[in-house]
Chain A
Amino acid sequence: MIEAQKLTKSFGNYKVLEDLNLKVKKASVYGLLGPNGAGKTTLIKHLTGLYRQDQGIVTIDDQPVYENSQVKGQMIYIPDDLYFFSQASIEETAKFYAKIYPDWNWNRYEQLKQVFPIDSKRRVVKLSKGMQKQVAFWLGISSMPKVMILDEPVDGLDPVMRKKVWSLILQDVAERQVSVLVSSHNLRELEDVCDHIGILHKGKIVVERELDDMKSDVHKFQLGFAGDIPEGFLVGPEVLHRTQTGSILLLIARGDKNELLQRMKSANPVILDVLPLTLEEIFIYELGGMGYDIQNIII
């Protein structure tokens, strides 16, 4: 659906994106993760057809995005820094969007009044930052997009509103097959909503994972042995991490959970627990070997 190939972009002599590849599937939520200044916003501005790439291809539904109003009519972009016409009320802004977006839906707009408790006669620029974000979602969702590109979207929303907004979006993903790309520098925020996560680092997507796979693929075990730990116990490439304190062993390993358990049981541990693993830890352990100071990115 959303696709970037060999995307390269420099500002002056400063290279921000280099040979970047990215693919977002239809009806999925893709989380773009990266530290400040990694180039998330820059990448997003290419995906929304605002910036022209130096090299590479950016397409949505196999159509180039730049200067393509057909594609843009099916897409909404909520930037991290919102802009509204200074004189216009919510209602007037909605009228403007209604004339511009081909699939605008007034019913939806009216329904969403229940979700967003803001008087639609008020001037948008006079609203608080969080309220403006709400207006952006309100208008964005009312224009019935096929693609939503959100740059740090829930920044500034209160927890209740975050939930509401995400449930609206996920509902659209499920019912209308909307594809969503959302950026953040906070993994925890993406954990619950994304089904794909990509990490942007030094101008490239260094990791791209499907979350469900990941969670069922990596496990954390705590083992205790009566005596010494048997020689050669679980030292394969499947072990991502191992710490030993006395006779207690902490293991993080990749593979089929049951099979791994079988293998451990055969060594007769006194204790054998499967501990919960956060996404954060998965990333840290998965990427630990890649030579990036990835901890800083994720936490």
Chain B
Amino acid sequence: MTFKTSLFNKALILSNLKRYWWVSALYTLALMAYIPFSHLMKAMGMEVQNITWIQDTIDRMLSFSQDDVQAILICTVPVLMAVLIFRYLQVDKSAVMMHSLPIKRSSHYASHCLAGFVLLIIPALLNSLIMILLDYFTVLGSFYTLPKIFTWLGLNIFFCLFFYSIAVLVGMFTGSSVAQIVFTYIIQILPIGIYVLLKFSLEQLLFGFGEAPYSLFIEDNYPLFLLFNSAFLRNPHMVGWLLAYILTAAAFLILGWFVYKHRRLETAGDIIAFPALYPAFKYGMTFCLMLVGGTYFCGASRQSLPMLILGYVIASALGYFVAEVLIHKSFRVLHLYKGYLYYALVIVILLGGLSLDVSGFVKQVPSPEEVEKVYFGYNYNDWFYFEKEKNPEFLESRYQDSGYFEDNPPILLESQENIAGVIELQKHLIKERKREAGSSRYIIYTLKNGDYILRQYNINEADQSDAAFLKPIYESLEYKKLKFPAMRLVPEDIKLMSVEDDRSGKRPVNLTGTKDIRELTELLKNETIKMSYEDMTSSRDSYMRVSVLENNKRNEQNILVQSSFTSLLNWLKDKGYYDQFALHLEDIESVELEKAEDRAYFDNAATPSPVTINEREVIEELLNIDPSTNYISNDVIARFNVRNHVWSKRVSLEAGVSAKLKGYFAELEEDN
């Protein structure tokens, strides 16, 4: 017997092909209906104007980008195939029969694997063949090209192989087909799940704990995510990358072979085929469920710590005993409580250590001399790729925005004052330990010795005590330069500036003259420098804005004009531009009031008739009133009718208003 014939058993391969050809056939038909034939239909029914649209759709399908139907097929069919092909191993009867045949385990494994793989690639090959024929003989010739077809074939086989190899490997470790399916998907989302859940728990337990909200690494490297976000298309090293994955898939298959050789036949039907892995499965499940339970209970109860602990206890006990039930295939598992107690002991010690802050994590604040710079912003990934990885291009390519960092420089503060300011702010936050209001923001120090200290806090700009610490930072030139695009404008680079007012319904005024542009940029800068903390954090809507189009940029920059920008507004008035675009009181014909909740609950048709106001002074009052930011209270929507245009704003019923306006509000109440 030669090596080849003994490794691949022809009879086994043929019998597999005979038994499971129908999966292949169905998959072929599904692909055929979804790809070549639907393309043919589209192409035959095309009209001139949607040629580019058809081309675009076809290209996207053939390159697997944003194509959920194909993605779902790819992540289910190979798994199903692996389950069917290795089904014999998971059922006692068939495992016994197959292994009593004079065939070695290596040969069993290799033959079954190969048969499944052949069944998986035949549909892709057939469909490629059909596409090639269509390419030559039908209108699709103008949409298909051979490279595109072969790319599709390659990617299809590649993904099939990958999912197949994972499912096969998982199948070797378990003795049940259901478990094989479940584990195949679980291990793919497990890393990201654990990441998110662990982060949530640590955030609750360690004040100030911060990490990336999700992991780009997992998202860009895990097959299931890859398939759905098609990140590989953006990968600059695609060939090397594909090769690495093919090698990984091969490694999985080889590992599967090794596991198969050591697998015991009597484990058919067990959830885990290797008793040595029971503890890993048991405690893994306990831990994961603990995290899920904690997150669920704590999230549902608005981040209360006792609920987190309660969630931990309930869910971990559940996880532990369910795992035991699955392992022992019996419900009589309560006597195994000891293992759970050990687990609980370890967790209590860990949690105790965390909440007592044994490592000093919560209180750790660097001294200003140690710090080189500090990131004080909202976006972890910005910091990570810009500052830590020093690879901003990666993020830009991922965002498909090559000027991303130029337009949004990360807020990395380097001046002595600001570093000291942030440190003081952090000390204040640690002392106060508020969690509730505000928005979550990162404070990430780059230390002179090369280390990083990463924290994340909820900071409330409206809170008086927080504001006292924020004010010096916000008002510093360094912060403003990073924060406001107006500070970075260079008049020479500007092609066009335009000023507009959303409320007025008037067309924007375009400024192209170099003098105007120079003066306006200068004014914008000065106004920004003058902006106070209160202006910067005010909740007042800004309706006026300057749009700037720069020479070598695709996108416009929008700069809001605040009401505090008096000299800028005066300049616009002096030049006569203001009247052309801005809203004037006289422009408003009437205002209609309506309760905000009505809009939420009824269709427009069913809305009760609004209260209409025509009195000038009341309209003026409404125009200048601060909009409501509190979306819970029963607000009023004020709809301003401006010639051929309508805009509206939310006003709080509780706002300090004149008697007249109060009267209108009362009318609104009565109506309902």
Chain A residues within CB distance 8 Å of chain B: 11-12, 45, 48-52, 67, 69-73, 75-77, 79, 81-88, 92, 96, 99-102
A82, B275: Cα distance in complex, Å: 27
At the interface, yes or no: B604 with Cβ under 8 Å from chain A? no
Contact present for A81 and B92 (CB under 8 Å)? yes
- Residue among B11, B19, B107 making CB contact with A87, cutoff 8 Å: B19
Query: Could you say which residues of chain B place their CB within 8 Å of the CB of A49?
Result: 99-100
Give 10 nearest A-B pairs by CB, closest first.
Answer: A73-B102, A99-B11, A72-B102, A83-B93, A83-B97, A69-B102, A77-B100, A83-B94, A81-B93, A50-B265
- Taking A45-B265, A77-B100, A83-B93 as known contacts, 8 extra A-B pairs with beta carbons closer than 8 A to each other, sorted by chain A number, are A69-B107, A71-B102, A79-B100, A81-B96, A85-B15, A92-B18, A99-B11, A100-B9
At the interface, yes or no: B264 with Cβ under 8 Å from chain A? yes
A281 to chain B minimum Cβ distance, whole angstroms, is 36
Query: Could you say which residues of chain A place their CB within 8 Å of the CB of B275?
Result: 12
Question: Can you list 10 residue pairs at the A/B interface with Cβ under 8 Å?
Answer: A45-B266, A48-B100, A51-B264, A69-B104, A79-B97, A81-B96, A82-B93, A83-B93, A92-B18, A100-B103
Contact present for B103 and A79 (CB under 8 Å)? no
Query: Could you say which residues of chain B place their CB within 8 Å of the CB of A99?
Result: 10-11
At the interface, yes or no: B495 with Cβ under 8 Å from chain A? no
Q: Which residue on A lies nearest to B105, using beta carbons?
A: A67
Query: Could you say which residues of chain A place their CB within 8 Å of the CB of B103?
Result: 69, 72, 100
At the interface, yes or no: B101 with Cβ under 8 Å from chain A? yes
Given A51-B264, A99-B11, also A70-B93 (CB < 8 A): no
List B residues 78-127 near A (Cβ within 8 Å): 91-94, 96-97, 99-105, 107
Contact present for B15 and A83 (CB under 8 Å)? no
B270 to chain A minimum Cβ distance, whole angstroms, is 10
A12 to chain B minimum Cβ distance, whole angstroms, is 7
Given A12-B275, A51-B264, A83-B93, also A72-B19 (CB < 8 A): no
Contact present for A96 and B11 (CB under 8 Å)? yes
A36 to chain B minimum Cβ distance, whole angstroms, is 17
List B residues 223-275 near A (Cβ within 8 Å): 264-266, 275
Q: Which residue on A lies nearest to B101, using beta carbons?
A: A100
Query: Could you say which residues of chain A place their CB within 8 Å of the CB of B96?
Result: 45, 50, 79, 81, 83
- Residue among A72, A82, A100 making CB contact with B11, cutoff 8 Å: A100
Contact present for A96 and B104 (CB under 8 Å)? no
A102, B15: Cα distance in complex, Å: 17
A285 to chain B minimum Cβ distance, whole angstroms, is 37
Contact present for A96 and B100 (CB under 8 Å)? no
A117, B10: Cα distance in complex, Å: 31
A27, B265: Cα distance in complex, Å: 30
Grouping DSSP codes into helix (H, G, I), strand (E, B) and loop, the B interface class, with mixed when no group exceeds half, is helix
A92, B92: Cα distance in complex, Å: 23
B57 to chain A minimum Cβ distance, whole angstroms, is 40
A51, B99: Cα distance in complex, Å: 10
Query: Could you say which residues of chain B place their CB within 8 Å of the CB of A96?
Result: 11, 15
Query: Could you say which residues of chain B place their CB within 8 Å of the CB of A101?
Result: 102
A96, B92: Cα distance in complex, Å: 20
Contact present for B92 and A70 (CB under 8 Å)? no
Chain B residues within CB distance 8 Å of chain A: 9-11, 15, 18-19, 91-94, 96-97, 99-105, 107, 264-266, 275
Question: When A and B form their complex, what is the total count of cross-chain residue pairs whose Cβ atoms lie within 8 Å?
Answer: 66
Query: Could you say which residues of chain A place their CB within 8 Å of the CB of B11?
Result: 96, 99-100
Most A-side CB within 10 Å, residue of B99, B100, B265: B100
- Residue among A52, A76, A92 making CB contact with B264, cutoff 8 Å: A52
Contact present for A85 and B92 (CB under 8 Å)? no
A82, B96: Cα distance in complex, Å: 9
A7 to chain B minimum Cβ distance, whole angstroms, is 15
B628 to chain A minimum Cβ distance, whole angstroms, is 67
Contact present for B104 and A67 (CB under 8 Å)? yes
Contact present for B102 and A100 (CB under 8 Å)? yes
Contact present for A70 and B102 (CB under 8 Å)? yes
A45, B265: Cα distance in complex, Å: 10
Q: Which residue on A lies nearest to B18, using beta carbons?
A: A87
A87, B266: Cα distance in complex, Å: 25
A73, B103: Cα distance in complex, Å: 8
Query: Could you say which residues of chain A place their CB within 8 Å of the CB of B9?
Result: 100
Query: Could you say which residues of chain A place their CB within 8 Å of the CB of B19?
Result: 85-87
Query: Could you say which residues of chain B place their CB within 8 Å of the CB of A100?
Result: 9, 11, 101-103
A112, B94: Cα distance in complex, Å: 25
A99, B91: Cα distance in complex, Å: 24
A11, B92: Cα distance in complex, Å: 15
Query: Could you say which residues of chain A place their CB within 8 Å of the CB of B107?
Result: 69
Q: Which residue on B lies nearest to A67, using beta carbons?
A: B104
A101, B91: Cα distance in complex, Å: 23
Query: Could you say which residues of chain A place their CB within 8 Å of the CB of B100?
Result: 48-50, 72, 76-77, 79
A43, B100: Cα distance in complex, Å: 14
Contact present for B101 and A72 (CB under 8 Å)? yes
A101, B100: Cα distance in complex, Å: 11
Q: Which residue on A lies nearest to B106, using beta carbons?
A: A67
Query: Could you say which residues of chain A place their CB within 8 Å of the CB of B15?
Result: 85, 88, 96
- Residue among A51, A69, A102 making CB contact with B265, cutoff 8 Å: A51
A12, B274: Cα distance in complex, Å: 11
A81, B19: Cα distance in complex, Å: 21
A3 to chain B minimum Cβ distance, whole angstroms, is 18
Query: Could you say which residues of chain B place their CB within 8 Å of the CB of A81?
Result: 92-93, 96
B282 to chain A minimum Cβ distance, whole angstroms, is 15
Most B-side CB within 10 Å, residue of A12, A73, A96: A96
A83, B11: Cα distance in complex, Å: 17
Query: Could you say which residues of chain A place their CB within 8 Å of the CB of B102?
Result: 69-73, 75, 100-102
Query: Could you say which residues of chain A place their CB within 8 Å of the CB of B264?
Result: 51-52
- Residue among B18, B104, B266 making CB contact with A51, cutoff 8 Å: B266
Query: Could you say which residues of chain B place their CB within 8 Å of the CB of A85?
Result: 15, 19
A100 to chain B minimum Cβ distance, whole angstroms, is 5
A260 to chain B minimum Cβ distance, whole angstroms, is 48
A264 to chain B minimum Cβ distance, whole angstroms, is 53
Q: Which residue on B lies nearest to A136, using beta carbons?
A: B97
Query: Could you say which residues of chain A place their CB within 8 Å of the CB of B266?
Result: 11, 45, 51
Query: Could you say which residues of chain B place their CB within 8 Å of the CB of A82?
Result: 93, 97
A62, B11: Cα distance in complex, Å: 29
A71, B104: Cα distance in complex, Å: 11
A48, B18: Cα distance in complex, Å: 27
A102, B103: Cα distance in complex, Å: 11
A104 to chain B minimum Cβ distance, whole angstroms, is 11
A71 to chain B minimum Cβ distance, whole angstroms, is 8
A58, B10: Cα distance in complex, Å: 29
B272 to chain A minimum Cβ distance, whole angstroms, is 13
A238 to chain B minimum Cβ distance, whole angstroms, is 45
Query: Could you say which residues of chain B place their CB within 8 Å of the CB of A92?
Result: 18
Query: Could you say which residues of chain A place their CB within 8 Å of the CB of B99?
Result: 49-50
B266 to chain A minimum Cβ distance, whole angstroms, is 6
Query: Could you say which residues of chain B place their CB within 8 Å of the CB of A77?
Result: 100
A150, B366: Cα distance in complex, Å: 78
B10 to chain A minimum Cβ distance, whole angstroms, is 7
A152 to chain B minimum Cβ distance, whole angstroms, is 14
Query: Could you say which residues of chain B place their CB within 8 Å of the CB of A72?
Result: 100-103
Query: Could you say which residues of chain B place their CB within 8 Å of the CB of A50?
Result: 96, 99-100, 265
Query: Could you say which residues of chain A place their CB within 8 Å of the CB of B93?
Result: 79, 81-83
A239 to chain B minimum Cβ distance, whole angstroms, is 46
A138 to chain B minimum Cβ distance, whole angstroms, is 15
A188, B100: Cα distance in complex, Å: 29
A45, B95: Cα distance in complex, Å: 12
A96, B111: Cα distance in complex, Å: 14
A135 to chain B minimum Cβ distance, whole angstroms, is 13
Query: Could you say which residues of chain A place their CB within 8 Å of the CB of B18?
Result: 87-88, 92
A153 to chain B minimum Cβ distance, whole angstroms, is 14
A81, B269: Cα distance in complex, Å: 15
Most B-side CB within 10 Å, residue of A48, A50, A87: A50
Q: Which residue on B lies nearest to A79, using beta carbons?
A: B96
Query: Could you say which residues of chain B place their CB within 8 Å of the CB of A51?
Result: 264-266
A216 to chain B minimum Cβ distance, whole angstroms, is 37
B248 to chain A minimum Cβ distance, whole angstroms, is 29
